[in-house]
Amino acid sequence: MADESTPADPADTKSKRPRGGGGRRRKPRKRNKVLVVGAWTAASVVVLGGAGLGFVYFKLNGNIKGVDINAALGTDRPLDVDNGSQDILVLGSDSRSGDNAKYGKDEGAARSDTAMIVHVYKGHKTASVVSIPRDTLITRPECATEDGKTDPGGRRQMFNTAYEVGGPACAVKTVEKMSGIRMDHYVEVDFTGFKKLIDTLGGVDITTKKAIHDKDSHLDLEAGTHTLNGEQALGLVRTRHGVGDGSDLGRIQLQQAFIKALLDQVKDVGVFSNPKKLFDLADDATSAITTDSDLNDVKSLASFANGLKGIGAGDMKMVTLPIQYDPNDPNRVLPLEEADQQVWDALKADKPIPRSATEKSAGDKGSAGDVVSSH
């Protein structure tokens, strides 16, 4: 369930802003998904590794993969407004390469089937998270492709095709064109890294208020309390028709609820008293993610994470980008332009997202988020 409460007004503490750079389905597709909360957790634990395990610096540093978003996009970007806030695009891709092949075959190039814009308010005490449904039809900008050509973009393009045609740089460019907000950072996480991170944490405690049985995501849970291992956690955040009305919008609600359960738990994992667990978490975290080039070393990632560690589940407002079902295609959704602009204007001004922005949206109407709560 999306959090409809309004967070406390951002703190007045001055913080220099770094200059860096689904629709309802009649026949759901079988491609698997990943929850990008792994990226947030990665940042949270890497700060510990960077501060307390200097002797493994080079090991951890070598794990991190970086993408030079600044070089790829050049000057064709929104202004970097220095008001003390940060905006981070967090993606999960559905690549089936390497260890991810067990989840199915690629349907062409990898796509970003989970996307969240994390806005950290000035003072770094509160945050808003805006989930973008993968099947949102948008006007996608022209993007460079990996083979050196140019994809022209166009109207009524699915949001998640931006990553497919142009990788992280095109995904960032698309979000910036949609929102008018410059992304300070980019973080991506994959299936295998997410699973390993959950297993190293010792699992995640959740309560399912209803039974979830989904053969496609290999999830079989009765109502009650559970400690999910990595495989089960991945199944939970991938499930779509196992809960609610079977829509991708319902899955987003489920993911948001799971993020809150995970953030509550990660504060109590006791890594300071267990050096091996600390190293294992840092190793898993740095191996799991791809970042923009401003974060692709341990020192930078640790500094970035240090600025986020005070934000807990209760300090985050989570919404779905205001949308409506496409009357011409029930498997697609359309942006509610006026409501979307309210969201972007609020974030640009470093203010809470107004409740009125999501009142008419189909995105936060379902009940799937009520299925899961923290243990």
The pLDDT-based confidence of 162 (bands split at 50, 70, 90) is very high
**Residue 56 contacts residue 279 (beta carbons within 8 Å):** yes
**In the chain, what percentage of residues exceed pLDDT 90?**
38
SS (H, E, C) 163-209: HHHHHHHHHHHHHHHHHCCCCCEEEEECHHHHHHHHHHHCCEEEEEC
Mean of pLDDT values over 160-168? 93
Mean of pLDDT values over 21-37? 42
The pLDDT-based confidence of 26 (bands split at 50, 70, 90) is very low
Mean model confidence pLDDT for the chain: 78
For residue 131, what are the β-bridge partners? 116, 320
Q: Give, in order, the Cα–Cα distances in Å from 5 to each of 336, 341, 354.
A: 21, 20, 10
First to last CA, the chain: 16
Mean of pLDDT values over 313-328? 92
The larger pLDDT score, comparing residue 309 to residue 135, is at 135
- Whether this prediction's pTM lies above 0.85 is answered by no
Dihedral of alpha carbons 155, 245, 319, 114, sign: negative
Q: So what's the pLDDT on residue 241?
A: 60
The pLDDT-based confidence of 24 (bands split at 50, 70, 90) is very low
For residue 226, what are the β-bridge partners? 206
**Residue 206 contacts residue 371 (beta carbons within 8 Å):** no
User: Tokens 């080039």 identify what position?
Assistant: 293
Q: How far apart are CA 218 and CA 341, in angstroms?
A: 38
The larger pLDDT score, comparing residue 278 to residue 195, is at 195
Per-residue pLDDT at 169 exceeds 90: yes
Domains of the chain: 37-201+270-365 (3.30.420.590)
Q: So what's the pLDDT on residue 105?
A: 46
Per-residue pLDDT at 134 exceeds 80: yes
Task: Return the closest-CA partner of residue 25 out of 217, 176, 202, 244.
Answer: 244
Task: Return the closest-CA partner of residue 155 out of 334, 338, 344, 14.
Answer: 334
Mean of pLDDT values over 133-162? 94
**Residue 191 contacts residue 199 (beta carbons within 8 Å):** no
Q: How far apart are CA 295 and CA 304, in angstroms?
A: 8
**In the chain, what percentage of residues exceed pLDDT 70?**
72
User: Tokens 């602009």 identify what position?
Assistant: 341
Q: So what's the pLDDT on residue 271?
A: 52
Q: Residues 241-291: pLDDT tens digits? A: 666 556 678 778 888 888 887 877 766 665 556 677 777 888 888 888 899
User: Which of 130-134, 157-161, 211-215 shows the lowest per-residue confidence on average (mean pLDDT)?
Assistant: 211-215
The larger pLDDT score, comparing residue 314 to residue 30, is at 314
Mean of pLDDT values over 356-375? 75
Q: Residues 77-110: pLDDT tens digits? A: 999 888 899 999 998 776 545 554 444 444 545 5
Q: So what's the pLDDT on residue 168?
A: 94
Mean of pLDDT values over 17-35? 42
The pLDDT-based confidence of 209 (bands split at 50, 70, 90) is confident
The pLDDT-based confidence of 298 (bands split at 50, 70, 90) is confident
Q: So what's the pLDDT on residue 254?
A: 80
Q: So what's the pLDDT on residue 52?
A: 43
* 3-state secondary structure (DSSP) of residue 135: coil
Q: How far apart are CA 161 and CA 109, in angstroms?
A: 9
User: Tokens 């109590």 identify what position?
Assistant: 268
- DSSP 8-state secondary structure symbol assigned to residue 102: G
Which of the given ranges, 96-100, 308-312, 329-333, has the highest pLDDT on average? 329-333
Q: How far apart are CA 90 and CA 188, in angstroms?
A: 6
Q: How far apart are CA 189 and CA 259, in angstroms?
A: 14
The pLDDT-based confidence of 74 (bands split at 50, 70, 90) is very high
Mean of pLDDT values over 57-77? 88
Q: How far apart are CA 237 and CA 252, in angstroms?
A: 8
Dihedral of alpha carbons 184, 123, 65, 40, sign: negative
